[in-house]
Amino acid sequence: MVVVEVSNAAWKAYRRGLIAAEQQALIAADVVQVFDRLEPLSHLSVRASAIAREIDYPVYDCFYLALSEAKDASLVTSDERLLAKTNDTAFAARTTSLRAYKP
């Protein structure tokens, strides 16, 4: 399902003129490599809830931040509102706009 969500987000970004067709195609080609396994979320619930309180953002999306923190990985997102919420926080260094993503 994650592959579908990422591919759809890239398509939406292309459709809105936020990324070029070449970027959308690269994301579609790379998404399978990026998501080579699924991660259980149960161990992230407490941290995701704490992040939601800290940045005043829905817990649903904060699971992604909690996972990026736990794995010491970057989070690439097309969610400009999430990027704005993390802008002046410790998460700013680990969040990247889909627009700026280069594989």
Tens of pLDDT, residue by residue over 31-59, are 877 666 668 888 999 999 999 999 999 99
DSSP conformation class of 38: -
For residues 64 and 61, give the distance between their C-alpha atoms in angstroms, rounded to a whole number: 6
Long-range contacts: 8-16, Cβ < 8 Å, 24+?
9/77, 9/78, 9/98, 10/78, 10/98, 12/78, 13/78, 13/98, 13/99
Domain membership of residue 93 as a residue range? 2-100
Whose structure tokens read 């080609």?
Answer: 29
Check: CB of residue 54 under 8 Å from CB of residue 65: no
Check: CB of residue 65 under 8 Å from CB of residue 51: yes
**How many domains is the chain partitioned into structurally?**
1
pLDDT score for 34: 67
pTM, entire model: 0.66
